[in-house]
Amino acid sequence: MQIVTARATLSADGSTVTHSKGAWSESYPVAKLAAHLEFYRAMRDRLAPHDRSGKATGPGPYASSYADDVLALERVEKMARVLGAI
């Protein structure tokens, strides 16, 4: 089985994010990055066990599928902030 890692890049002018994983890729305006991060974090944390206060106590069954997407998009978010793109 081949391990496929997510990758995210910011265009040179800071206006576009390209997110890819294996043969799939998607490009969108940097203004939509927060919504994409919210989606991938929700997918990563879906069905994670929680304590009585609602705090996650461990990874859910989908964490291994989406954790690298979140990390890649968070790196782009940091870069975009440094460049003043968001």
Would you say residue 1 lies in a domain?
no
- 4 neighbors 37 (Cβ within 8 angstroms): no
Cα(15)–Cα(28) distance, rounded to whole angstroms?
9
**For the chain, how many structural domains are there in total?**
1
Query: In terms of residue numbers, what domain contains 55?
Result: 6-83
> Is the pTM for the entire model greater than 0.75?
yes
Tokens of 81: 């902030």
Q: In this predicted model, what pLDDT tens digit does every residue of 23-32 receive, in sequence order? A: 999 999 999 9
17-63 tens-digit pLDDT: 999 999 999 999 999 999 999 999 999 999 999 899 988 889 999 99
Q: How far is CA 80 from the centre of its chain?
A: 14
CA dihedral sign of residues 31, 86, 22, 60: negative
Chain centroid to CA 55:
20
